[in-house]
Structure 1
């Protein structure tokens, strides 16, 4: 399985549960969705793909690397702004060094840029954007105090003590964030069972516990 970095915790838990019940081993490669898609397009041996971005999945479909009819949306997410947990709590302002995912390959970065543009806070003299390889790297920058703020998914901030949420952008500026999954045309026989498990009711409850939203 090749999957978006923001899914690391929840898919690791679900994969272990799947293996315990079926005896089928799974191996997952995590990276930014753009990097995942490019690896698959270059021939990486993926059976199942889960991304944080419908556009990248559309590109894979257009390249005929997905099994027809296998695509399904597993979960949703939203953006939050985080700061180091040990930073003094003051009134929130967009200022200083702000980390986002690289918009060219990280959907969270593209979503962050769209959200900031909608709020009118891009390209200000008192702000410097720092880009990262994936959303977990953004969280790491913030946790280590290397930046003042970071924009990550809600699921990345939940239960992570080294950062704290300082702002939740209003719904009207939140991009639609969906996690599509699909089998590849080269998928091994057992991959369909894992796909079915990830799309089931038990997995939805696990996604919710990790801070993801349900697909309407």
Structure 2
């Protein structure tokens, strides 16, 4: 996790959770189970969808969550994933360009928003607009967000702050995390005064509150694509992909504030 010097061991430890997630990824197909690599921001919703789809698929998938960038690199390195769900189009394209996914299985599954969050007991208020005084709101604390060079949520956040003309004023106050859930944790524990996360993450964390939503035109569209990996031979992968696009899955995604982009099966 990239945390500015002096930010504290607690922040680094929180970011270490993401590393532990990656380290805990399955090294091989245990009992030929379906293995899914999914963006960390999907955990609450996808866990529910996995349970709902078990009867249709014939098994519950084994799901590993981390930053899309880390997961894509794992797949490139030979990790035994059957299905990859990215939080942006870039990392899916990264694998596609290397012929590591089955192109005819790729679907734009979900959409999302990015929001500005504060600890639940914070009195911070703002209107997100051109040149709003984000630096003043942060004060002597930090702004938590995903790594702006690799993590999709961080890339979206930086793009929005640049478009709104405030990036240069807060760049030195940013605590960059290995994934969006680690950034969220920094805010919920009070290690950071503010954070930029997905709306779905804010929905899932009672320790934070949303104080503003970034305009859609301030950043690239947030799209979660899904595809089966090129090396996958799991017989249940097609059924899982189909169930992800079902009405019941769509309702569970919507319950966590995702936007469903695919027609329901």
Alignment partner, residue 214 of structure 2: 169
Q: Number of aligned pairs? A: 216
The whole-number CA distance in structure 2 between the counterparts of 1:125 and 1:191 is: 43
Alignment partner, residue 18 of structure 2: none
Alignment partner, residue 185 of structure 1: 230
Which structure has the highest helix share of the two? Answer: 2
The whole-number CA distance in structure 2 between the counterparts of 1:89 and 1:118 is: 22
Question: 1:17, CA displacement in angstroms?
Answer: 1.6
1:10-45 deviations in Å (ceiling 9; x for gaps): 111111122245441310010000001000000000
Q: Is the 8 A contact 1:3 1:30 kept in 2?
A: yes
Question: 1:174, CA displacement in angstroms?
Answer: 3.7
Q: Which runs of 5+ in 2 are unaligned?
A: 1-35, 128-132
Cα distance, 1:148–1:24 mapped onto 2, change above 3 Å: same
Q: Is the 8 A contact 1:94 1:127 kept in 2?
A: no
Residues 33-72 of structure 1: matches in 2 within 5 Å? 33-72=68-107
The whole-number CA distance in structure 1 between the counterparts of 2:186 and 2:40 is: 15
TM-score (norm 1): 0.94
TM-score (norm 2): 0.77
Question: 1:144, CA displacement in angstroms?
Answer: 0.4
1:86-127 deviations in Å (ceiling 9; x for gaps): 112445641221011002221000000000000111121696
Tell me, yes or no, if structure 1 residue 194 matches structure 2 residue 229: no
Question: 1:199, CA displacement in angstroms?
Answer: 1.5
The whole-number CA distance in structure 1 between the counterparts of 2:241 and 2:197 is: 26
Alignment partner, residue 98 of structure 1: 143
The whole-number CA distance in structure 2 between the counterparts of 1:19 and 1:127 is: 46
Alignment partner, residue 149 of structure 1: 194
Cα distance, 1:125–1:174 mapped onto 2, change above 3 Å: closer
1:177-216 deviations in Å (ceiling 9; x for gaps): 0000000122211111101100222212211111011327
The whole-number CA distance in structure 2 between the counterparts of 1:117 and 1:167 is: 17
Cα distance, 1:125–1:79 mapped onto 2, change above 3 Å: closer
Aligned-residue CA RMSD (Å): 1.7
Tell me, yes or no, if structure 1 residue 131 matches structure 2 residue 176: yes
The whole-number CA distance in structure 2 between the counterparts of 1:91 and 1:191 is: 45
Q: Is the 8 A contact 1:71 1:181 kept in 2?
A: yes
The whole-number CA distance in structure 2 between the counterparts of 1:176 and 1:138 is: 21
The whole-number CA distance in structure 1 between the counterparts of 2:150 and 2:54 is: 31
Tell me, yes or no, if structure 1 residue 77 matches structure 2 residue 122: no
